Amino acid sequence: MIRISLIIAIIAALGVGALNFFVVKEKINTLVTDRNTNRDGFNATKAALSKTNAILVKTEATLKQTEQNLADTQAERDKAVAAETAQKKRANDLSDKLVKTTQERDDAQNELASYKTTGFSPEQVAKLGRTLKEKQDMIDAGNLEKAVLQRSIARLHAQLDIFIGTNADVTLRADLKGKILVVDPKWDFVVLNIGDDQGVKENSELLVSRDGKLVAKVIVRTLEKGRSIANLVPGWKLGEVIEGDEVSPAHPDPAS
């Protein structure tokens, strides 16, 4: 009986072992299949990634080349635009010169025609032109000398009026304007940017103003060609006189 039980137990154990073997084998086969599938998928993904990387590298190289070509194209375009602009400017300059030259030619032809109608030779016309210029220069010099003499006469007349007491107020041109260049507050004198050439007279009085407001009054004591030196009149200092203040006649000439 014991032997039979032992045999039965052995047979049962063998049956269980065989069953477990088949089950384990089936699981092993399944794992091997999954492993192979995963490996094949990984290899396929790796190959696709390598191919994608290769395409990306090629695309980047193409993009860089395209960018370089675009930069070169833009540089060539800018160069062509600059050259076109320069050519247009040159053409415009040449056109202007042509118009000017044509006008000068026409003027010369008209002058030549005028010369021919006078009956004078070109040498005679040139001599007349030189004579006319010399006379005009003499007239201009005479007018300049006349203006200087008139200013001198006016200055002397003003001094004479003061000396004889006929006119204490020295009149100046109503439109005379000037500015203060230098101020000496210690000695109460100023330097003006107008003088004898502009019509200022000795002992003439000028009003000092700033922004349309009266600041002081000055009287000219020293007169030069393009400037004058004046003293502040006591009692007329309504504010501080500064450089750049404007001056105008205190006694404008009604006839000017």
Please give the structure tokens belonging to residue 210: 């700033």
**172, 177, 180, 181: CA torsion to nearest 10:** -110
Q: Does residue 80 fall inside a structural domain?
A: yes
50 and 94 both lie in a single domain: yes
Domain coverage including residue 216: 170-249
Domain termination site, one of 168, 199, 230: 168
Give pLDDT, residue 53: 79
Tally of domains in the chain:
3
158 and 177 both lie in a single domain: no
Give pLDDT, residue 229: 95
Amino acid 9 reads: A
pTM over 0.85: no
Give pLDDT, residue 15: 57
Give pLDDT, residue 166: 44
163 and 186 both lie in a single domain: no
Contact at 8 Å (CB) between 225 and 144?
Answer: no
Q: CATH no. for residue 187?
A: 2.40.30.20
Pairing of strands 246-249, 205-210: antiparallel
174 and 162 both lie in a single domain: no
Q: Does residue 20 fall inside a structural domain?
A: yes
Give pLDDT, residue 148: 64
15 and 82 both lie in a single domain: yes
143 and 89 both lie in a single domain: no
Block means of pLDDT (10 residues each) for the chain, length 256 residues? 66 58 65 74 76 81 81 75 74 76 74 67 71 72 65 58 56 93 92 93 93 94 92 91 96 83
Q: Does residue 254 fall inside a structural domain?
A: no
Pairing of strands 213-223, 205-210: antiparallel
pLDDT in tens, 83-121: 777 777 777 777 787 778 778 777 766 776 666 666 666
Give pLDDT, residue 130: 77
